[in-house]
Amino acid sequence: MGKVVIYPGSFDPVTYGHLDVLKRATHIFGKVIIAVANNTSKKYMFSLAERVDLLKEATTGMPGVKVESFDGLVIDYARRKKTNVLIRGLRMTSDFEYEFQIALTNRRLAEDIETIFLMPSERHSFLSSSLLKEVAKFDADISSFVPRCVEERLKGKLRA
């Protein structure tokens, strides 16, 4: 089906950990579609359009990367994009159970679509968007966790 792969997620907001996984995926596959999910059961800090915009800004100059949003099942989105590979990031062992459950559910629904797990570098392995938002509330220096565009927008939202 080609070397285009999908890296789905909510990216609320995108972190250096996400970008590290993305760089690893582009190194292996060449072309990656970052598929920003609109999960109606989640409460987001950033709107879908804002998350897409932040990702586009954070990935400017990264060859082979395209940012899009999607609704519905990621396996249906993958079929529309004519790919059979999903990329998921694993930080800590606590991620594994959740990600494994999703991967097995996707496999049951679509045996032809594979999920590949990539780990970020150690310096980003502890970082989550939830933790980032929590420390940002206390005006902590988050510049080593997120690109400048994300830091500015996040602090702006928290001041509002």
* Count, residues in the chain: 160
Which residues, at least 6 apart from 19, have a Cβ–Cβ distance to it below 8 Å?
58, 59, 147
Which residue is catalytic, options 51, 88, 129, 153? 129
Q: Is 81 a catalytic residue?
A: no
Three-class secondary structure of residue 38 per DSSP? coil
Which residue is catalytic, options 42, 82, 108, 159? 42
Q: Is 137 a catalytic residue?
A: no
Q: Is 108 a catalytic residue?
A: no
Helices (H), 15-60: 16-29, 48-58
Which residue is catalytic, options 23, 24, 56, 91? 91
Q: Is 27 a catalytic residue?
A: no
Cα separation, 70 vs 73, in Å, equals 8
Which amino acids are annotated catalytic? Answer: 18, 42, 91, 129
